[in-house]
Amino acid sequence: MTMTIEEKKAAILDTLIQAAKDEGAIASAEPDDYHIGETMGWYRILSIVIDESEAYEVPMHELGLEGYNPDDLLKTIKAKQAA
């Protein structure tokens, strides 16, 4: 069965969201400047997805983001700045 363009776009978005969550978690575990910058990039991507999903009334569970808080990625950055 061939996927429609809408199904393909949804699959791409699913992959992007999962990669952002996974890579953001990996990067946020490292407190050096490079990984802080990388974490901020993943945080921004996830924040945009969440903001847009709210604007278009797409439930978080449809995007695999139910209960997910991108602010958790910033804990390492905040800890480094506090030190």
pLDDT band at 12 (very low <50, low <70, confident <90, very high): very high
40-51 core/surface letters (b: 16 or more CB in 10 A; e: else): bebbebbeebbe
- Say if residues 43 and 74 touch (Cβ distance below 8 Å): yes
* pTM for this prediction: 0.88
- 44, pLDDT greater than 90: yes
State the chain's mean pLDDT as an integer: 94
Structure tokens at 57: 């009334």
Enter the tokens of residue 32.
């050096």
Into how many domains does the chain fold?
1
Domain housing 53 = 5-82
